[in-house]
Amino acid sequence: MSAVPDEGTTPEPARPVLAARSATADLALVSTFAAFIAVCAILPAIVLPGMAVPITLQTFGVMLAGLVLGPRRGTLAVLLYLAVGLAGLPIFAGGTGGLAVLGKPSLGYLLAFPLAAALAGYVMTRLSSVRRSLLPLGAFAAATLASLLLIHPLGISVMGARLGLSPAEAITAGATFLPGDVIKNALAAVVATAVFRAFPDLLRARR
Amino acid sequence: MRRRRAQGPRRPPWTGPLGLFHAGSSWLHRVGPGPKVAGLGVLGIAVVALTGVVTTLALALVTVATAVSARLPLRSTTRAVLPVLLTAATVGAYQVWQRGPAVGLEVGLDLVTLVLAATVVTATTRADELLDALVRGLGPLRRVGLRPEVLAMAIGLMLRAVPGLLQTATEVREAARARGLERDPRATLAPAAVRAVARARSTGEALAARGVGD
């Protein structure tokens, strides 16, 4: 793939260090990332050649929140996103929303999101002192760990229980999301690295 | 901005602060959000805990009767429930074939019952009332350090950020298209994410300058 020029990714000039670590700055980061996940979920899906299922970016936004904000703030951002979506704003994948998602077989995936953001953020924090050239790889590992340990197991078991499927049937049905997830995690890793390059303090001051 | 207007009045995916709510005056519209959500919770437990064809049918009938009494527009309700109707039909048919008609009926109907009930609650409750109820309900958490007014503030900040971030996403996508990179997600997503963080930073500074959150 060709190199992407970096203009447009320059941060705002003159950021006082003072505000960077306050509770107010955290509040702004958490609510902005909750909105970012919402925007990712309602943007038109990306259709990649050779892929059966079009990719919505909902899980990408969740993973990015965890990677960029760390376990505590990342989890809060995802919880805020879920609360506002459950309250009836159409910000879940495909422009859905409201309490109806609680009855759908895909509930387990939503329940796993805050946990996945926490795990991805935690692993990323542990890897934050890694060499800069290895950052994308570390971020990809953190996101992949979260989706393999949390999103898919939880999503598949809830779907299996709600639809009365045997474990083997449920896993077969859930596996269709795996290829898209690999792409989304790779994207989240690349984008998180770009954010860390623009705002290095997000990687240094992690809570 | 000007470009979007030139394309004609297309409804944005962001449909405004009322979301999936439909104004009305039925009894369900007048009941407060708390009892409705509690009722939905009870129904959810009942649907999962009670098995058997008779109870499944009874719960489905009660839910349909409630939905009819809310007098919601038929089209939007159908549009909300249609995807899950298809899922229920597919999985129900599969279960009839694999495990017999009783299991198939129960799995399919349970799914439709829950989604229909939740759709009705969402359509008869304003999103801001539901969020207010959530903020009130989290009041007891004050003792463990979570202040409800901070949550209310976060909800407001998030809702305010969505249109701005959507516009950023559109701008970034157009910039990438101008460079012939619109198929490259890195050229569209990375700048959008960096600008979201920059926006959060300036929001944080604006709040701190006004003494909010101390």
Locate B210 and state its tokens. 């006004």
Q: Do B84 and A91 touch (CB under 8 A)?
A: no
Residue B103 — very low, low, confident or very high, per pLDDT cuts 50/70/90? confident
Cross-chain CB nearest to B119 (options A68, A89, A100): A100
- Return d(Cα B79, Cα A96) in angstroms, integer: 11
Q: Do A27 and B150 touch (CB under 8 A)?
A: yes
Cross-chain CB nearest to A103 (options B103, B115, B150): B115
Which of B189, B202, B207 would best serve as a mutation to test chain A binding (most A beta carbons within 10 A)?
Answer: B189
- Return d(Cα B120, Cα B66) in angstroms, integer: 8
pLDDT of B139 strictly over 80: no
Q: Is residue A187 part of a domain?
A: yes
Q: pLDDT tens digits, residue range B105-121? A: 888 888 888 888 888 88
Burial state string for B179-210 with b = 16 or more CB within 10 A and e = fewer than 16? eebeeebbbbbbbbbbbbbbbbbebbbebbee
Q: With helix as H, strand as E and coil as C, how does A65-133 read?
A: HHHHHHHHHHHHHHHHHHHHHHCCCCCEHHHECCHHHHHCCCHHHHHHHHHHHHHHHHHHHHCCCCCHH
- Smallest CA-to-CA distance from A81 within B165, B47, B27, B23 is with B165
Q: Do A103 and B44 touch (CB under 8 A)?
A: yes
CB B21 within 8 A of CB A88: yes
Q: Is residue A31 part of a domain?
A: yes
Q: Is residue A5 part of a domain?
A: no
- Return d(Cα A23, Cα A31) in angstroms, integer: 12
Mean pLDDT of B179-198: 88
Residue A207 — very low, low, confident or very high, per pLDDT cuts 50/70/90? low
pLDDT of A45 strictly over 50: yes
Q: Is the pLDDT higher at B171 or at B147?
A: B171
CB A80 within 8 A of CB A27: no
Q: Is the pLDDT higher at B70 or at A98?
A: B70
pLDDT of B1 strictly over 70: no
Separation in Å, CA of A203 to nearest CA in chain B: 13
Which of the residue ranges A38-47, A55-64, A177-186, B168-177 would you say has the lowest mean pLDDT?
A38-47
Report the amino acid identity of residue B155.
I
pLDDT of A108 strictly over 80: yes
Tokens 């309250």 sit on residue: A87
Q: Is residue A101 part of a domain?
A: yes
Nearest-CA residue of chain A relative to B98? A165
* DSSP secondary structure letters along A31-78: HHHHHHHHHHHHSPPB--TT-SSPBPSHHHHHHHHHHHHHHHHHHHHH
- Return d(Cα A75, Cα A73) in angstroms, integer: 5
* Interchain contact A202–B (C-beta under 8 A): yes
DSSP for residue B212: T
CB A48 within 8 A of CB A40: no
pLDDT of B2 strictly over 90: no
The pLDDT value recorded for residue A47 is: 60
Q: Is residue A61 part of a domain?
A: yes
DSSP for residue A21: T
The structural domain count of chain A equals 1
Q: Do B201 and A28 touch (CB under 8 A)?
A: yes
The pLDDT value recorded for residue A55 is: 65
pLDDT of B14 strictly over 60: no
pLDDT of A140 strictly over 90: yes
* B chain contacts of residue A8, beta-carbon cutoff 8 Å: 172, 175, 191, 194-195
Q: What is the three-class DSSP state of A6?
A: coil
- Return d(Cα B110, Cα A103) in angstroms, integer: 9
* Interchain contact A186–B (C-beta under 8 A): no
Which of B90, B197, B203 would best serve as a mutation to test chain A binding (most A beta carbons within 10 A)?
Answer: B197
Q: Is residue A7 part of a domain?
A: no
CATH of the domain at A34: 1.10.1760.20
Locate A127 and state its tokens. 């890897």
Burial state string for A90-122 with b = 16 or more CB within 10 A and e = fewer than 16? bbbbeebbbbbbbbbbbbbbbbbbbbbbbbbbb
* Residue range of the domain that includes A125: 20-204
pLDDT of A64 strictly over 90: yes
- Return d(Cα A105, Cα B14) in angstroms, integer: 25
* Interchain contact A179–B (C-beta under 8 A): no
Mean pLDDT of B7-31: 63
* Interchain contact A31–B (C-beta under 8 A): yes
The complex scores an ipTM of: 0.84
Q: What is the three-class DSSP state of B160?
A: helix
Q: Considering all CA atoms of chain B, what is the largest pairwise distance in Å, rounded to the nearest integer?
A: 66
Cross-chain CB nearest to B122 (options A1, A19, A99): A99
**Residue B70 — φ and ψ, nearest 5°?**
-75, -10
Q: With helix as H, strand as E and coil as C, how does A148-161 read?
A: HHHHHHHHHHHHHH
- Return d(Cα A69, Cα A57) in angstroms, integer: 18
The pLDDT value recorded for residue A20 is: 47
